[in-house]
Amino acid sequence: MKIIIASANKGKIAEFEKLMPNDEVIAFSEILGQIEIEEDKDTFKGNAIKKAQTIYDELYKNGYRDMIVISDDSGISVPVLNNEPGIYSARYAGLNATDKSNNAKLIENLNRINLERTPAFYTACIAIVYQNNVYTVHGWMHGDVINKELGEGGFGYDPMFIPNGFEKTLGELGYEAKKEFSHRTKALNLAKKVLDVIL
Ligand SMILES: O=c1[nH]c(=O)c2ncn([C@@H]3O[C@H](COP(=O)(O)OP(=O)(O)OP(=O)(O)O)[C@@H](O)[C@H]3O)c2[nH]1
Ligand SMILES: [Mg+2]
């Protein structure tokens, strides 16, 4: 099955490819080139729908039909920081933020309140657009964030995140572990059930 991923995040696209080994997973940019989508909704769900719908509409305008478009809006929330960065995870350190600068800002904010480690959770909302219908599913992963980066695996905040039941960060554990229980894995498992019903 051909699935268009409405994301420009290489880390996410790589995860989707590994999670759907039997499908043809194509990043939208391979067909449409770069498209900037303003994420101006106030929920993961709102932004996920906007991303998937925008890419679906662009593909449609370009003559593509019967495609399945999947988006992912995700982020990490830290309850002791009023659930920051949440939907702002990708731009926590500002408009030109990178994974490095976002992690540095989170570390700075943890240090400001003298916390080496505190509970946190990831959320992923996946939106599916198919034949002008929209479906959304969510997945979560709970654990702790720490005020330093450990390990090189994963992407984004992974080197700062210790999932429940482990004593290492996702950066140290690597993708084979993360794949078993991540927010994206859980959401995608639900998305696959939706696809089983609608296709
Ligand atoms: O360590 C991480 N492991 C994860 O598994 C993960 N999932 C999300 N995130 C963070 O949350 C932002 C999402 O923002 P986001 O959904 O807008 O994505 P994005 O802007 O990077 O790409 P796009 O899909 O919008 O094109 C990302 O940039 C990351 O910083 C993660 N960090
Ligand atoms: Mg984004």
pLDDT tens readout for residues 107-143: 999 999 999 999 999 999 999 999 989 999 999 999 9
**3-state SS assignment for residue 165:** coil
DSSP 89: G
What's the pLDDT tens digit per position in 150-174? Answer: 999 999 999 999 999 999 999 999 9
- Element at 31 (helix H, strand E): helix 29-32
Choose which residue among 4, 7, 9 to substitute to test ligand 1 binding: the one with the highest number of ligand atoms within 8 A of its C-beta: 9
Which amino acid type is present at position 171?
A: G
Max CA separation in the chain (angstroms)? 55
- Length of the chain, please? 199
**What separation in angstroms does the CA of 44 have from each of 49, 140, 142, 169?**
9, 12, 17, 24
Q: Is 124 annotated as a binding residue?
A: no
77 annotated among ligand-binding-site residues: no
Residues 178-183: contacts with CB under 8 Å, at least 24 apart: 178/153, 178/154, 179/15, 179/18, 179/19, 181/141, 182/15, 182/122, 182/124, 182/139, 182/141, 183/74, 183/121, 183/122, 183/123, 183/124, 183/139, 183/140, 183/141
Fold classification of 2-198 is: Maf protein (3.90.950)
| Burial label, 100 (beta-carbon count in 10 A; 0-12, 13-18, 19+) | exposed
Ligand lying closest to the C-alpha of residue 44:
1
User: Who contacts 114 (Cβ-Cβ below 8 Å, separation ≥6)?
Assistant: none
Percentage of the chain lying above the pLDDT 90 cut: 98
Tell which one of 13, 38, 89 to mutate to probe ligand 1, the residue whose CB is within 8 A of the most ligand atoms: 89
Q: Is the pLDDT at 66 greater than 90, yes or no? A: no
For the entire predicted model, the pTM comes to 0.97
Task: Give per-residue pLDDT as tens, 67-120.
Answer: 999 999 999 999 999 999 999 999 999 999 999 999 999 999 999 999 999 999
Residue 132: per-residue pLDDT: 81
Tokens of 91: 């731009």
Tokens of 182: 């991540």
Question: Cα separation of 10 and 51, whole Å?
Answer: 16
Query: ipTM more than 0.85?
Result: yes
Structure token digits, residue 137: 């599913």
Report helix angle 183-198 to 10-19, nearest 10.
60
Report whether residue 156 contacts ligand 1, using a CB cutoff of 6 Å.
Answer: yes
* CA 73 / ligand 1 centre spacing (Å): 7
